[in-house]
Amino acid sequence: MSIQQKLLQLKEDGQDYEFYPTTNEILAALEKDLLKVGLADGAGRYWRNDTEGFSVNTNYEKNQPIHTLNVQSFLEIGAGDGRVIDYLFGHGSQKINIKNKLGIELARAQADDLIRRGIGIIGRDYFETVLIDKQYTVVFSNPPYSIFTEWCIKLLKEVNAAVIYLVLPERWKDDSALKQLAESKGDVEIIGSFDFLHADRPARAKVDLIRIHRKNREKKDSFETWIEENIGKFEVAEEVPEMAEEAEEKRDNVEERSTDKIRVLVENYRADMQHMMTTFQELGKIDFKLLAQLKLDKKGIIEVVRSDIKSLKNRYWQAAFDLLKPINSRLTYKTREKMLTDIKWFADLDFSEANLYSIMVWVIENGNKHIKDQLLQVYEDLTNFEGVRAYKSNDKWLNDHWRYGKTGLPSKYSLDYRLVVSIGYRFSKYEWDKMNNAIADLAVVADTLGFKNKGVNDFEKDGKAKYCYADDDTVLFEYKCYQNNNVHFKLKKELQQALNIEAGKLHGWLKNPADIVSEFEVTQEQAERWFAGGSLQLLGKNSPLLIGFGENK
């Protein structure tokens, strides 16, 4: 899509937030300077989570050294169409390798596209995104020039980075407070001066590309400064003035006020965060001499605050993910956990509705592969020597008599409708562990195969028959749990057939409709339909409503 088409789309959506794409002239200067600074800082370091996040790899071609600069993380604030990261990561001879590509972008169309292209969106609204508790190697921003002062003040007060690059109107030099704040972050240098007269979106603005380089690693970071400003300096005080206690704000039971559980969680998170900060602020009023006597030092207290903020975020993210029924009905517990682990930028996200939407865009984009993988995993979990039948085409085995005198599984097989599985499934009375077993996993896979159901929640090891009911109240499968952790399954014939055919296709055992006709009791027409699409219900890439977000979100 051309820049003109992008601008037209943004204007139609009412999301043209002064989008003036960074020019190639500026990008070339940025690349050249980043290589100079990064190669100097990263010299002698190999890829690891270094303090500054730079490392260098050197290869030799025709006895000539070829250096590659590894950047641990690169954050673009106001990422637009992602051209800055694209330029640095894919330009020239691949001299720059960015491990974690991150962005903040308000325009929904552009943010969603960035996620699909592998750029982690850690925030939508920049002014609502907290940055103090995060660490980055490089931060770049070409801010809206109408508000560049407010934009830069927030960035410089909150961002922790080895190097910061800013594209600012040349009048920034006249703002003494902004200059002083920039210099407090590190060495400030103007890399070059440019204009937008011949840019993709022309403008008369004249700008400077400036670099702020934090060379002193012992320098106080933004998080420590924020702790001092908002909680306390944790120094020995001559006298702590008495302060009137503020009336504790009553926290409403938002569960009683709203049926929107995600919004409830966000409100509760903000209340819990505020309560945590208030508690730490009270700690900050105590004379540090007393804290020292209790073996509490400043560094330890700062790390506790940082850790508690992270733990609170993680707890709410997990709770939110567990609430998303359209996702949970299609992803098993293990798959959801793996996907959360795979989202490299997940730990940097503040807990908000906008960021939850970003996570869901990523889940939808990446979920289809996981849905296929989890079907094969559940199929493997249900596989037992006594509960499978060899394919007719498996000529190494005799029809119906292959079990006798045989050991091991046939190379191609289907599951019986009666199964006894004994691989030590865990059953727990605790809510957080209930979904971590293969009975629940089978219900999830059944849903992805088109058999909508009400799930399972009874795992009592009493040997009694229990049922997973479809939405129409018919029995989808029966299961019995025993004290020795064996589970006896009895599957509905249609579910058994769908599971076997989809697994056979994914394994490559069924290569055409004729194979399906040969191995299963289906007509040619049914086999062709199965092979063309089957019944595996994948996540719709263009369906945000699937994940419970309204059109106005």
Residue 294 has a pLDDT of 63
319 located within any domain: yes
Judge if 386 and 526 occupy the same domain.
Answer: yes
Q: How far apart are CA 464 and CA 481, in angstroms?
A: 7
Judge if 369 and 312 occupy the same domain.
Answer: no
Domain housing 383: 364-532
Judge if 176 and 284 occupy the same domain.
Answer: no
CB atoms within 10 A of CB 50: 16
- Residue where a domain terminates, one of 197, 220, 243: 220
Judge if 197 and 262 occupy the same domain.
Answer: no
- Residue where a domain terminates, one of 220, 254, 281: 220
Residue 42 has a pLDDT of 66
Closest to 323 (Cα-Cα) out of 260, 258, 251, 257: 260
Judge if 51 and 187 occupy the same domain.
Answer: yes
Q: What is the CATH number of the domain that holds 185?
A: 3.40.50.150
Q: How far apart are CA 132 and CA 154, in angstroms?
A: 10
Q: How far apart are CA 249 and CA 410, in angstroms?
A: 67
Judge if 56 and 199 occupy the same domain.
Answer: yes
478 located within any domain: yes
Closest to 85 (Cα-Cα) out of 124, 27, 168: 27
Judge if 212 and 277 occupy the same domain.
Answer: no
432 located within any domain: yes
545 located within any domain: no
Report how many domains make up the chain: 3
CB atoms within 10 A of CB 249: 10
Q: How far is CA 545 from the centre of its chain?
A: 19
Please report, in angstroms and rounded to a whole number, the separation of the first and last CA atoms in the chain: 25
Give residues with Cβ within 8 angstroms of 321, minimum separation 6: 327, 328, 336, 340, 359
275 located within any domain: yes
Q: Which tokens belong to 150?
A: 């407010």
Q: Which tokens belong to 253?
A: 């039971």
141 located within any domain: yes
171: DSSP letter = G
347 located within any domain: no
Q: How many residues does the chain have?
A: 553
Q: How far apart are CA 181 and CA 235, in angstroms?
A: 24
Judge if 377 and 430 occupy the same domain.
Answer: yes
Print pLDDT tens along the chain (553 aa).
555 555 566 556 565 555 567 888 999 999 999 988 888 876 655 444 444 588 888 777 777 777 888 898 999 999 988 889 988 876 654 588 888 899 999 888 888 889 888 898 988 889 888 787 778 999 999 998 888 999 999 999 888 888 999 999 999 999 999 999 999 888 999 999 998 776 666 667 789 999 999 865 445 566 566 555 555 555 544 443 343 344 344 444 444 444 467 788 888 888 888 887 777 777 667 666 666 666 666 666 677 777 777 778 878 887 777 776 667 678 887 887 777 777 766 666 778 888 887 777 777 777 777 888 889 989 988 888 678 888 887 655 444 444 444 456 778 889 999 998 875 555 554 444 445 578 888 999 999 898 999 988 888 889 999 999 999 999 999 999 988 888 999 999 999 999 999 999 999 999 999 999 988 888 898 888 888 876 666 665 544 444 444 444 4
CB atoms within 10 A of CB 295: 7
Judge if 370 and 252 occupy the same domain.
Answer: no
Residue 296 has a pLDDT of 66
Residue 224 has a pLDDT of 62
Q: Which tokens belong to 154?
A: 């927030």
- Residue where a domain terminates, one of 220, 246, 267: 220
Residue 443 has a pLDDT of 92
Judge if 196 and 267 occupy the same domain.
Answer: no
495 located within any domain: yes
Judge if 137 and 189 occupy the same domain.
Answer: yes
Judge if 59 and 105 occupy the same domain.
Answer: yes
